[in-house]
Amino acid sequence: MELYEILEKQRTFFREGISRNLQYRRRGLLRLRENLRRHEEELYAALYADLGKSRYEAYETEIGIVYSEITYMVRHLSSLARPQRARTALVNFPAKSTIYKDPYGVVLIMSPWNYPLQLTLVPLIGALAAGNCAVVKPSAYSPETSKVIEKILHETFSEGYVYTVTGGRQANENLLAEKFDYIFFTGGKTVGRQVMEAAAKHLCPVTLELGGKSPCIVDETADIAMAARRIVWGKFLNCGQTCVAPDYVLVHSSIKEKLLAAMVANIEALYGQYPLESKDYGKIISEKHFLRLGAMLEGETPYYFGGADDKYCKIGPVILDDADWSSLSMQEEIFGPILPVVVFEDLEEVKREIEARPKPLALYFFTKSKERERYLMTHLSFGGGCVNDTIMHLVSNSMPFGGVGASGMGGYHGKYSFRTFTHEKSVLKKSTLIDMPMRYAPYPDSLRFLKKFLK
């Protein structure tokens, strides 16, 4: 079936109002959970084939997060979808004000390869919970996981409700040429701009989850042992291919050597002396990205180098201890297991340097100083982040996850996913018992009475 036929089928399905029924939405989410469980072993195998993820990491960062999102939506769907009473302004007396939670219609979800299951299904769960139909486009760079996703969605939903499109660049172009009611895109800035440009032609709203160079700041008051462990985990999780991974470390000069030594100790504690042999350490997604990361290391003498294997597209953890703001590794998002370390002397310097660059998706600050914490959290703009941890802010149903500026627009997770895929429709129901005459012509010469209502 041609794409335009699928879209017309989904528009017809949406107009019939089936997806607006709360029980239908709930049953669909529960069926999705059942089929995920039935195919869980296939998902482990696919995530290992695409990214070298261990079973534990696959569940921790992908499968478990999807289950958690389904559980949240099923549990809270009634309250999220319930019309919300709003305060009515005195000028509208007597009346009632209500906000209805209206699904957009047919939405497009385009997902990346680095967390191919989670970043496809978590936004889809929000879209379906909100009452939409969806076209899903998983990444061609993670083909094994995309195959299992397509199988699960085909078994769970009719194509008039949820349809999966596979393929590469041409498939993306074909999709973006069509008119959707909402587009949710996760990926890089280059394709993000193309998505936004295509959406603008149809005046289609978008959520863009992009990326950027997320700084990790460690001041001289920090718990060095804890900071090192959490930085190493956050950076080398998924072989560094995480949009919110600490992209580089800014460390106070007085503790640099202690932090470097502690990070090396934690690399070996997590992955052993030979990280490439660890069952818990993944691989680079493709030869193209392997070569890109290798070029970033040309001319560098790493403080720590965990090895490389071009046959299996593996690069071990790398620490660059003599980086500065002009280093090659500091010019673009790394998206791999390379960690530049830049020294600073005072926090004002750090603030100026970060502000001079595009707004990051995440920011991490290790400190024991509440005053410094408050200062940076209130003076720097970034998508989200942690104090004394990395990554974990996105594992929450109660806070929105998303970027700002060049790192994206819009947020999701939990109730914020529902909001993202919902238009809040405001309706004023006016009484017919009284009709205030002051709004009608002919108007009086004096504004005195009107100003009592509008001030």
Tell me the catalytic residues.
Answer: 209, 243
Helices 40-51 and 143-156: angle between axes, nearest 10 degrees: 160
Backbone φ, ψ for residue 354 (5° rounding): -70, -40
Q: Reduce the DSSP state of residue 170 to 3 states and report it.
A: helix
With b for 16 or more beta-carbon neighbours within 10 A and e for fewer, the 315-345 pattern comes to: bbbbbbbebeeeeebbeebbbbbbbbbbbbe
- Residue pair 4/178 in contact by the 8 Å Cβ criterion: yes
Nearest to 121 by CA among 47, 190, 53, 49: 47
Residue whose tokens read 């939506």: 73
Gap between the Cα atoms of 11 and 103, Å rounded: 12
Q: What is the 3-state secondary structure (H, E, C) of 42-95?
A: HHHHHHHHHHCCCHHHHHHHHHHHHHHHHHHHHHHHHHHHCCEEECCCHHHCCE
CB hemisphere CA count around 139 (13 angstroms) = 24
Gap between the Cα atoms of 169 and 24, Å rounded: 34
Contacts of 62 (CB under 8 A, 6+ apart): 43, 47, 53, 115, 116, 117, 118
Gap between the Cα atoms of 125 and 57, Å rounded: 21
By DSSP bridging, strand 95-103 and strand 84-86 are antiparallel
- Residue pair 176/148 in contact by the 8 Å Cβ criterion: no
Backbone φ, ψ for residue 96 (5° rounding): -120, 140
The most distant pair of C-alpha atoms in the chain lies apart, rounded to whole Å, by 87
Q: 430 to each of 83, 87, 425, 426, how far by Cα in Å? A: 17, 13, 16, 13
Partner residues linked to 208 by β-bridges: 185, 409
Nearest to 286 by CA among 310, 308, 307, 318: 310
Gap between the Cα atoms of 403 and 336, Å rounded: 20
Region class of 411: left (phi > 0), else alpha (psi between -120 and 50), else beta: beta
